[in-house]
Structure 1
């Protein structure tokens, strides 16, 4: 009787079988982690109309702003107990927004998510 080692579970099977399965498991874990991070990125943020958000800035209620490609997220009052508020930026943009934020002394921290996206794009070539 011939000894068939290809189907034995001790790792002596075909060389492509184990690395392929391991790679698929890692890809599934990485994909699940990225999906979870994407879905939870806006948790706990209240959405308001852009005009209301801009009125908050004009009244001086905003202390910190995060500008994204299509959204603006603000924190009003003290950052300890304040809940963030988000609004969609108008498609045509708002040229008065940055001068208004600067005039009111609103903090504009660097957007780490955009920096991560830029690094990922450079590394992977997407």
Structure 2
């Protein structure tokens, strides 16, 4: 009878533990984050131009189209890349955007794929 009791305890423990992952797999409802519209883009591009033009030693900068956050290195779904020449060295920057706000920015990393985007003048 002791072995039956232990077997039932083990069975109960296994069933309870296997059910635990269910609670951790449930995802919260995520609000959609649509791409910025044309008015929001204009506001974003103005803010990015202000930031890049204030960089010491930067030549004329260019801006990319809005794209998805390829690096997944932040909560924002959308990014804009900018590039400028610094003493004949091209540098890229990634701007993380939400709506018409620049949430943050940093020098680009390879996973941002800024080098593959199309750029145009401000």
Please tell me the TM-score bracket, short chain as reference. Answer: 0.3 to 0.5
User: 1 or 2, which has the higher strand percentage?
Assistant: 2
**What TM-score do the two structures reach when normalised by structure 1?**
0.32
User: 1 or 2, which has the higher helix percentage?
Assistant: 1
